[in-house]
């Protein structure tokens, strides 16, 4: 069980460091991180108001009060429930006190209907994004979070181990994807986040939607899959080949593998996120594949599948022990094929530990 009172105190420290007077969070990962409650994102206002003294008010619909109390809220949180005909924003006013004329950091993904209403009701406030306060907190994982991510990584590895048995000429991407989704749950995830099964030229689209294409002999198949296990994400890409791949594919794959491994080797505390990206990108550029690597090298992962830190060109985030992110360079040749090699890694005192343990070889089926 996470120490939510300590997280609220750390959030308050970040608020003062960034000149934020209150944090306003709707349902989602930030709120769940701070108080351990995962409210349904619906049209009635649910808003956590966190003040600079680390006390908080959870404004919620009266009919969800039981649900919230059942979640075991930290002691600093006061519940303020609104009935169907009450003014929910009056409760926000009261919770804010003096802070209503200050700088308010509002959840990055709070629905526009709530954000506009808040701006209308709090005309003196100045506005900022909650991520200015929360992303750094969430980026550095606690030991229990790393343990959860490690379990999620092991679970998705077990799914990849089942892939050779699911890939066969004549099957469609969508059929394989359905079986993979079932395997993601069977191997211990409570939820499937995404399943990308991209065969032949379809893999040249990095976020391809698995469809009606039938696998054929000679197809390279990119499989990028992830789910949520105990609230934490997995995300892993491996590349499979039915029979013999195109000659240039196997050569490029060797370069991709070097690029991915060079990026992981570059990881250490104090290194910038941009340097990790460059380690992969420079390798691919040296092989003449710079143009074919069309995305950043990685993204953080935790309560969300994509979160800070971002491992991108020019990134200035200094890596710290406990950060967890993907390292996933790719090579995409339109109308031909595509490939990506992805592991989740955790930054350690010495370097990086991969949470995905399967070999990086092309898997021949
Ligand atoms: Zn992606
Ligand atoms: Zn990823
Ligand atoms: Zn992925």
**Domain identity same for 223 and 273:** yes
Q: What is the pLDDT of residues 225-247, one digit of tens each?
A: 999 999 999 999 999 999 999 98
* Ligand number nearest to the C-alpha of 207: 1
Last residue of a domain, one of 88, 123, 138: 138
178: Cβ–Cβ under 8 A, 6 or more apart, which residues?
Answer: none
With 0-12 / 13-18 / 19 or more C-beta atoms within 10 angstroms meaning exposed / middle / buried, residue 316 is: exposed
**Domain identity same for 64 and 175:** no
Give the distance (Å) from ligand 2 centre to CA of residue 170.
Answer: 28
Q: The tokens of 347 are what?
A: 């930054």
What pLDDT is attached to residue 300? Answer: 98
**Domain identity same for 317 and 221:** yes
**Domain identity same for 134 and 149:** no
The yes-or-no verdict on residue 49 having pLDDT over 80 is yes
* CATH at residue 112: 3.40.350.10
Full residue range of the structural domain in which residue 71 is found: 4-138
Q: What is the pLDDT of residues 133-153, one digit of tens each?
A: 999 999 999 999 999 999 999
* CATH at residue 352: 3.90.230.10
**Domain identity same for 46 and 68:** yes
Helix ranges, 53-142 (H): 65-70, 88-96, 112-121, 131-139
The average confidence (pLDDT) of the chain is 97
Q: What is the pLDDT of residues 309-348, one digit of tens each?
A: 999 999 999 999 999 999 999 999 999 999 999 999 999 9
What pLDDT is attached to residue 113? Answer: 97
**Domain identity same for 185 and 292:** yes
Give the distance (Å) from ligand 1 centre to CA of residue 299.
Answer: 9
What pLDDT is attached to residue 85? Answer: 96
Using alpha carbons only, what angle is made at residue 237 by residues 232 and 240, rounded to the nearest 5 degrees? 145
What pLDDT is attached to residue 261? Answer: 98
Last residue of a domain, one of 93, 116, 138: 138
**pLDDT grade, residue 304 (50/70/90)?**
very high
Domain count, the chain: 2
**Domain identity same for 236 and 346:** yes
The yes-or-no verdict on residue 26 having pLDDT over 90 is yes
Give the distance (Å) from ligand 3 centre to CA of residue 199.
Answer: 16
**Domain identity same for 147 and 128:** no
Q: What is the pLDDT of residues 109-126, one digit of tens each?
A: 999 999 999 999 999 999
């Amino acid at each position: 069980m996470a120490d939510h009172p300590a997280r609220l105190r750390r959030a308050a420290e970040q608020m003062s460091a960034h000149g934020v007077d209150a944090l306003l969070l709707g349902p989602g990962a930030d709120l769940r991180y701070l108080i351990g409650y995962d409210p349904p994102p619906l049209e009635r206002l649910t808003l956590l108001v966190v003040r600079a003294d680390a006390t908080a008010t959870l404004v919620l619909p009266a009919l969800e009060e039981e649900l919230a109390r059942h979640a075991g809220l930290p002691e600093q949180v006061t519940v303020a429930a609104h009935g169907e005909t009450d003014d929910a924003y009056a409760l926000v006013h009261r919770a804010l006190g003096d802070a209503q004329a200050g700088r308010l950091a509002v959840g990055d993904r709070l629905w526009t209907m709530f954000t506009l209403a808040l701006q209308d009701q709090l005309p003196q406030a100045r506005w900022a994004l909650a991520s200015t306060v929360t992303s750094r907190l969430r980026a550095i994982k606690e030991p229990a979070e790393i343990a959860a991510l490690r379990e999620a990584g092991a679970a998705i590895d077990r799914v990849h181990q089942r892939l050779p048995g699911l890939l066969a000429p004549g099957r469609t991407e969508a059929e394989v994807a359905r079986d993979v989704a079932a395997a993601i749950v069977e191997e211990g995830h409570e939820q499937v986040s995404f399943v990308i099964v991209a065969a032949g030229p379809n893999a040249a689209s990095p976020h391809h939607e698995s469809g009606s294409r039938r696998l054929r002999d000679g197809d390279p198949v990119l499989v990028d899959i992830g789910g949520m296990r105990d609230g934490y994400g997995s995300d892993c890409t491996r590349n499979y080949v039915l029979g013999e791949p195109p000659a240039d594919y196997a050569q490029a794959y060797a370069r991709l593998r070097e690029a991915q491994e060079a990026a992981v080797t570059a990881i250490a505390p104090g290194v910038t996120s941009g340097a990790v990206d460059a380690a992969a990108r420079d390798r691919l550029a040296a092989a003449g594949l710079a143009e074919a690597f069309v995305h950043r090298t990685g993204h953080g992962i935790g309560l969300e599948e994509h979160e800070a830190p971002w491992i991108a060109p020019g990134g200035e985030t200094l890596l710290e022990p406990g950060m967890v992110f993907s390292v996933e360079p790719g090579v995409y040749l339109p109308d031909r094929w595509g490939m990506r090699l992805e592991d989740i890694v955790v930054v350690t005192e010495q370097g990086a530990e991969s949470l995905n343990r399967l070999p990086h070889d092309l898997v021949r089926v």
